[in-house]
Amino acid sequence: MMISMDLHVQVLEPTGILDSVNGETLRQQVDDVLTADAEVLVLLIDLKEVTFVDSSGLGALVSVLKKVRASEREMHICSINDQVRMLFELTSMDQVFSILKDRAHFEQQILQQPTG
């Protein structure tokens, strides 16, 4: 499911288990956003409805992050559960991804940054 918060932010909300199948869906959604909408500068992946991430799902997130950065845009992740947090910590991906507590924290920390 995709929700647009404003012209510059696109929110993606994967659900269930982020595995090879759902990871491919996420990759396709990100490709669609990056190619279809030049106005989107920030991508937020809200994992509140994701119950588990396996190695394929983690690979999909890394792949998506590389694509987003290559297009000179930002990507953030929010609302991760304890399993996902542990996976990120064990693989040091918590040092790679911008991880925020929840969507409200994203809005406060990222969207309300002073410009200039």
Largest separation between any pair of C-alpha atoms in the chain: 41
Q: At 115, phi and psi to the nearest 5?
A: -95, 150
Instruction: Identify the segments of the chain with pLDDT beneath 70.
Output: 1-7, 113-116
* pLDDT tens for each residue of 62-88: 999 999 999 999 999 999 999 999 999
